[in-house]
Amino acid sequence: MRILLLASGSGSLARAICEAKIPGVEIAGLISDKPCLALELADEFGFSYQVVPMQSDREEWNHQMLKSAAGIRPDLVVSVGFMRILAADFLKQFRVINTHPALLPSFPGAHAVRDALAANVSRTGTTVHWVDEGVDTGPIIAQREIAVEQGDDESSLHERIKIVERELIVEILTRFAQDGIPEIR
């Protein structure tokens, strides 16, 4: 199973996938929308990367993303901290999964951890889901809960979520490699 990673940040989720060395999974490349730490993984683990910077012309950016991904020929695209909405044309051509630091459908969007704390919930967690044209609205593949601890702030809670998020994405990719990529439900 050839996977394409999409990342915009530190690359901790991408690193977890790389280090897991999942049997049957080939990391075919990484695309980012900006220079970031995740790009260093390509050199370290021996795969290619591309930076497709966001442009003022969104249609041109969408076209460049589609062209770049098509050149990699992935079986699955894995969004691991990629902070951009993918175009409908991209989603028609590729099956895409995403990790999210909340128990969807609660707290979609870029500030999920902050939103969970503001809502004073006792439990939150992480979700792996199919990407659709909405913001964190695609069908859920799997979730893992954690307790919100007294004294948690956004940083401490997010760090604990990232631990289970990394475990969960590796589990999902391992299952997909063993059983095949399921159809989107």
Euclidean distance between CA atoms 20 and 29, whole angstroms: 16
Domain 2-179: homologous superfamily in CATH: Formyl transferase, N-terminal domain (3.40.50.170)
Give yes or no for residue 185 having a pLDDT over 90.
no
Residue 75: what residue type?
A: D
Q: Distance of CA 182 to CAs 130, 139, 149, 179, Å?
A: 11, 12, 35, 8
Residue 14 host element (H or E):
helix 12-20
pLDDT digits (tens, 9 = 90+) for 76-111: 999 999 999 999 999 999 999 999 999 999 999 999
pLDDT of residue 115: 98
Model pTM above 0.85:
yes
Catalytic residue among 63, 100, 129, 158: 100
Annotated active-site residue 100? The verdict is yes
The ranges assigned to domains in the chain are: 2-179
pLDDT of residue 184: 82
Euclidean distance between CA atoms 166 and 155, whole angstroms: 16
pLDDT digits (tens, 9 = 90+) for 52-62: 999 899 999 99
